[in-house]
């Protein structure tokens, strides 16, 4: 196949690759966006599983420590708790504010000693309420915390933000905000060895669905469905490009083969023609009489005196006939008999009864001339 065609096919293929890439990117963009939420849930569940596993590890560790240091077999350990509630804005919702604090479901007050759990999470529940007849201005907060002995040795701190909204009475629309701080520390510290401290499992924070942000890259990595579509798209687009390329190459090869065949045929025909001509001129081959010359329009002229020799006829400006005799029916314009014939003029019935016939050598001369031109042979019969 020739270079030009080859280049064209390559260019077409490059175009298709670009189109395929744009299609791939556009479709994957849509797919990844559509699968984002799903992936977020999957990631969340994975993180949650890891978190729960880490919680279990901590519980196992706590069980070992409880046994080692002779603590309660149920995993309770007493710690004193201080509770502090601070109002953090100036909006008022009334005067009768009631605070309720519960640790592990038991009401506690500032300064109480509370049984903390080592084999389970500890819950911290706070509620702040403005006491009025409607009883609907209330805010609360719950936290869960799994503690180790070392946490309680050092003292744990839980902070909660609570807002209480007043919807009735003269302070309707006000929202009071509070920060509640629990501090808990063991009365009697447990002397953990440095080995025990080293073995303490790392704590993880509980994952939250809304905090997990997912990029499209992560979707592709995490989501099997998206990957499946990506692979399928790549296969389909590749097959399209390869298929087109294969078909175009095959067509180009076939065209080239036919062209070569034509060239060979022409060369063979030319060779045969040259052989037939055998170095003779067109005149010789067509048997053109010696007294004939051809003008620039390839019209024959003989040695008669008139402009086109004995091929000269006459016509009037608008007449429908041509004449042998000059001046017959006021025909004064000279013209060539063959032109008159091809212009569909009729022979005059007075002076030109016999009409005009084109001699066979003339047609032969014209045919040969065309063939000589076609094969690029000079009139003297040389290639
Ligand atoms: Zn006439």
Q: How far is the CA of 349 from the centre of ligand 1 (A)?
A: 7
Closest CA to 114 of 68, 145, 69: 145
Instruction: Compute the distance between CA of residue 85 and CA of residue 156 in angstroms, rounded to an integer.
Output: 16
Nearest to 346 by CA among 326, 311, 321, 329: 321
Q: Who contacts 254 (Cβ-Cβ below 8 Å, separation ≥6)? A: none
Contact of 323 with 335, CB cutoff 8 Å: no
Q: Give all strands (DSSP E) within 104-213, no chain letters.
A: 106-107, 113-117, 122-130, 138-145, 156-165, 175-186
Ligand 1 centroid to Cα of residue 353, in Å, is: 9
Query: Which ranges of 278-376 does DSSP label H, i.e. alpha helix?
Result: 282-286, 337-342, 360-375
Report the separation in Å between the CA atom of 222 and the middle of ligand 1, taken as the mean of its atom positions: 103
CA–centroid distance, 335 to ligand 1, in Å, is 14
Q: How far is the CA of 217 from the centre of ligand 1 (A)?
A: 98
Q: 3-state DSSP call for residue 124?
A: strand
pLDDT tens by residue, the chain, 383 residues: 788 889 999 999 999 999 999 999 999 999 999 999 999 999 999 999 999 999 999 999 999 999 999 998 999 999 999 999 999 998 888 888 899 999 999 999 999 999 999 999 999 999 999 887 666 789 999 999 999 999 999 999 999 999 998 887 778 888 999 999 999 999 889 999 999 999 999 988 889 998 889 999 999 998 999 999 999 999 999 999 999 999 999 999 999 999 999 999 999 999 998 888 888 888 999 999 999 999 999 999 998 888 999 999 999 888 889 999 999 999 999 999 999 988 888 999 999 888 888 999 999 999 999 998 998 888 766 66
Q: Of 125, 120, 128, 169, whose CA–CA distance to 148 is shortest?
A: 120
Residue 78 Cα distances to 11, 113, 149, 257, angstroms: 80, 6, 11, 97
Q: How far is the CA of 315 from the centre of ligand 1 (A)?
A: 9
Question: What single-letter DSSP state applies at residue 358?
Answer: -
What is the Cα–Cα distance from 35 to 221, expressed in whole angstroms? Answer: 12
Q: How far is the CA of 324 from the centre of ligand 1 (A)?
A: 6
Q: What is each CA distance from 282 to 15, 51, 186, in whole angstroms? A: 54, 103, 128
Please tell me the predicted confidence (pLDDT) of residue 135: 64
CA of 312 to the centre of ligand 1 (A): 13
Listed residues: CB within 5 A of ion ligand 1: 323, 328, 348, 350-351
Strands 321-323 and 346-347, sheet pairing: parallel
Question: Ligand 1 centroid vs 345 CA: distance in angstroms?
Answer: 12
| Gap from CA of 313 to ligand 1 centroid (Å) | 9
Helix (H) or strand (E) holding 247: helix 224-277
Distance 320 CA to ligand 1 centre (A): 11
pLDDT at 134: 66
Which two structure tokens, joined as six digits, stand for 276?
A: 């037939």
- Which domains does the chain show, CATH number per domain? 73-191 (2.60.40), 282-375 (no CATH)
């Amino acid at each position: 196949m020739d270079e030009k065609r080859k280049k064209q096919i390559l260019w077409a293929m490059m175009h298709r690759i670009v189109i395929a890439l744009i299609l791939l990117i556009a479709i994957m963009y849509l797919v990844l966006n559509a699968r984002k939420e799903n992936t977020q849930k999957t990631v969340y569940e994975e993180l949650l599983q890891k978190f729960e596993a880490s919680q279990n590890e901590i519980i196992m560790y706590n069980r070992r420590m409880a046994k080692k240091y002779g603590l309660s077999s149920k995993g309770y350990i007493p710690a004193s708790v201080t509770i502090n509630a601070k109002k953090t804005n100036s909006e008022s919702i009334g005067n009768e504010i009631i605070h309720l604090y519960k640790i592990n479901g038991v009401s506690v007050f500032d300064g109480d000693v509370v049984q903390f759990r080592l084999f389970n999470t500890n819950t911290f529940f706070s509620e702040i309420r403005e006491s009025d007849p409607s009883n609907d201005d209330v805010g609360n907060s719950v936290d869960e915390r799994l503690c180790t002995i070392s946490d309680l040795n050092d003292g744990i701190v839980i902070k909660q933000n609570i807002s209480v909204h007043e919807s009735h009475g003269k302070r309707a629309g006000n929202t009071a905000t509070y920060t509640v701080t629990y501090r808990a520390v063991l009365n009697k510290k447990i002397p953990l060895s440095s080995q025990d401290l080293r073995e303490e499992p790392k704590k993880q924070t509980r994952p939250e669905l809304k905090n997990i942000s997912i990029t499209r890259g992560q979707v592709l990595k995490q989501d099997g469905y998206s990957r499946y579509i990506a692979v399928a798209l790549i296969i389909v687009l590749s097959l399209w490009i390869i298929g087109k390329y294969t078909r175009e190459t095959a067509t180009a090869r076939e065209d080239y083969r036919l062209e070569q065949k034509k060239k060979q045929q022409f060369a063979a025909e030319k060779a045969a023609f040259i052989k037939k001509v055998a170095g003779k001129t067109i005149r010789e081959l067509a048997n053109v009489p010696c007294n004939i010359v051809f003008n620039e329009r390839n019209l024959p002229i003989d040695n008669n005196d008139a402009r086109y020799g004995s091929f000269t006829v006459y016509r009037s400006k608008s007449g429908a006939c041509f004449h042998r005799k000059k001046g017959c029916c006021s025909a004064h314009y000279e013209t060539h008999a063959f032109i008159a014939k091809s212009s569909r003029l009729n022979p005059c019935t007075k002076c030109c009864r016999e009409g005009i016939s084109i001699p066979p050598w003339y047609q032969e001369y014209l045919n040969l001339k065309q063939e000589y031109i076609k094969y690029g042979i000079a009139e003297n019969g040389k290639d």
